[in-house]
Amino acid sequence: MAEATRMVDIYIMGRHYQVPEGLTILTALEHCGYRLIRGCGCRAGFCGACATVYNFKNDPQLRFDLACQKTIEQDMYLVQIPFFPAATASYNLERLKPTGEQVLALYPELVTCFGCNTCTKTCPQELEVMWYISDALRGDIREVGNKSFDCVMCGLCAARCPQGLAPHNIALLCRRLRGRYLAPRSKHLDDRIAEIEAGKFDAELEELERMDEAGLRRRYAERDIEPA
């Protein structure tokens, strides 16, 4: 006989439930009968919709994670983060300069960061949020992009910042500046676009489109394959 599933005690908005071990916070909510509309997105750790806060019965310290990725533990107290508005600058990327002054002009509250590091401790992706905010203050836009690259934009950092900064939005601005203005140009890409516009491949494509299936299969089987 299969071993009986071990049950875990959890508390959703303070109410006690027992759920089988091995569930995530998200599937534990569903096991308890919740049908989610908000607070659930890709269910795979990429979209940031299920940002969540929890602590434990005898440990008031708040912890943060993505509900779809975090496994439940004994005596967890769960809540879902409701929507809250975070500071978002409005801009036209084409009119911006990739400088620290530009970032400060759009997000002047940057200077109020006093380095409490709550943002870093909050990040479910374990990013060095406070350090990239300090990079932004120094105008090192490349490094903000680098350190913030894996951000899923869940906004937990902004929810916890005592100074009302929205680090995830500041980082997004910096990444866009980096991609648009600071990344080295790709000459081969521009060349190829020009070739396509000049019609360089039209005859060959037309030939392939007119080819019957047997001919296409032959060409496909014969094509040379570049090593991965």
Partner 1 sequence: MYPPYMEESVRKVEATRQRRLKERLPRLSDEEKTALVQKYHPDFIKQSMRELLLGPNKGERTPNELADLLEGNSRVDPDKIDLGKIDYDVDVLVIGGGGAGASAALLAEENCAKVLLVTKLRLGDANTVGAQAGTQAADRPNDSPAIHYLDTMGGGHFTNIPELVEALVKDGPSAIKWLEQLGVNWDKEADGSMHELSGGGASRRRLHSARDYTGLEEMRVLRDEMKNRRIDYLEFSAAIELVLDDSGQAAGAILVNLETNEVILVRAKTVVLATGGIGRLHIQSYPTTNHYGATADGLVLAYRVGAKLIFIDTMQYHPTGAAHPVQILGQLVTEKVRTLEAQLVNKDGEQFIMPLEPRDVVASAIIRECQEHHNGIETPTGQVGVWLDSPMIDIIRGEGTIARELPAMVRQFRRFNIDIAKEPMLVYPTLHYQNGGVKIDANGATTVPGLFVAGEVSGGVHGRNRLIGNSTLDLFVFGRRAGKAAAQYAKEVKLGALTLDHVQRWQRELEQAGLAKVRPVSPLLLPDYARRMPDYLSDYSKQAVSVGQVKLA
Specify the residue, 138 or 219, whose C-beta has the smaller distance to partner 1: 219
DSSP calls for 34-98: ---SSS-SSSSSSS-TTEEEEEETTEEEEEEEETTTPBP-TTEEEEEPPP---------GGG--S
DSSP label of 179:
I
CB of 204 to partner 1, least distance (A): 4
CB of 61 to partner 1, least distance (A): 20
CB of 115 to partner 1, least distance (A): 25
Specify the residue, 18 or 112, whose C-beta has the smaller distance to partner 1: 18
For residue 17, list its beta bridge partners.
10
Question: What torsion do the CA atoms of 185, 186, 189, 191 make, to the nearest 10 degrees?
Answer: 80
CB of 158 to partner 1, least distance (A): 15
CB of 173 to partner 1, least distance (A): 8
Specify the residue, 4 or 60, whose C-beta has the smaller distance to partner 1: 4
Q: What whole-number distance in Å separates Cα of residue 208 and Cα of residue 37?
A: 47
Exposed e or buried b per residue across 94-131, where buried means at least 16 C-beta atoms within 10 angstroms of its C-beta: eebebebebbbebbeebeebeeeebbbebbbbebebbb
Specify the residue, 101 or 226, whose C-beta has the smaller distance to partner 1: 226
Specify the residue, 149 or 162, whose C-beta has the smaller distance to partner 1: 149
